[in-house]
Amino acid sequence: MPNNLHVCLSPALIPLYAVEEYNVVIIDIFRATSSICYGIDNGAVAIIPVSEVEECAAYREKGLDYLLAAERNGEVVSGFDFGNSPFSYTKEKVAGKTVVLTTTNGTHALHLSRSAKKIVIGSFFNLTALSNWLGQQNQNILLVCAGWKNNFNLEDTVFAGAVIERLKCNDFILDDSAIAANDLYQIAKNDLSGYLAKTSHSERLKKLGIEKDIAFCLNIDITTAIPVLQGEKLVKLK
């Protein structure tokens, strides 16, 4: 019996899936899951995703091994170590540290998926490593697009399509959203940044002055680590 390969196009649709029957991949390309993949690959001991700046600030009291990442409107919040740019997650900055990352959309998607068999983190950075691992597990797969405030977005969907492309040789049953995601990836794949430049989210991020982050998040296979949720922390899958 082939396994299912399904795509959930918004966190608001997660309740439609029996998540306990899936390995779940959380996808938030611009920029949370890209930064998480980069940070874990660069030696961060763990990354703790939280929804609110206040939750993040509460970690300050726990000691100096925590780096706190919080942003509002593209600026690092006063008193925090850095924002959500993947460029903050270099070896020099995060190796050996635990990072507390404020990410509303990503945390929401993680929370709704918490009964999954396993929850892992995907981005273009770890596309091939992630797809290979998924293909070896003999489990149903649910690719969850974190979106933007529960709205569908193209960048997360196109990434889901890229994963599906790499899993096609396996014998999965696709749902309609998986077919759509893969078809959109076929259109986008030869010029990812050109294709995604027309999206609403990309426009919004441009206004925040973070075009460099966006361009960087579209780099494919620059990492191999697969972040996996253990309790409240994302750590490197062994």
Q: For residue 210, which of 34, 27, 2 has the smallest C-alpha distance?
A: 34
128 in contact with its own copies (CB under 8 A) = no
Q: Is 108 in the site for its own copies (CB under 8 A)?
A: no
Minimal distance, residue 153 CB to its own copies, in Å: 5
Verify binding: residue 165, its own copies, rule CB under 8 A: no
β pairing state of 71-72 and 140-145:
unpaired
Rounded-to-5 percentages of helix, strand, coil across the chain:
45, 20, 30
Pick between residue 56 and residue 154 the one whose CB is nearest to its own copies: 154
Question: What x/- string results for residues 191 through 220 when contact with its own copies is judged by CB under 8 A?
Answer: -------xxxx-------------------
Q: Which two tokens stand for residue 25?
A: 């991949």
CB of 32 to its own copies, least distance (A): 17
**Choice from 176, 211, 221, 232 touching its own copies (CB under 8 A):** 176
Strand order in the sheet with 98-102: 66-69, 98-102, 46-50, 233-236, 227-230, 118-122, 22-27, 140-145, 4-8, 173-174
Q: Report the residue number, 54 or 183, with the smaller CB distance to its own copies.
A: 183
The two tokens of residue 74 are 């593209």
Residue 171 interacts with its own copies (CB under 8 A)? no
With CB under 8 A as the contact rule, the residue among 184, 222, 235, 237 that binds its own copies is 184
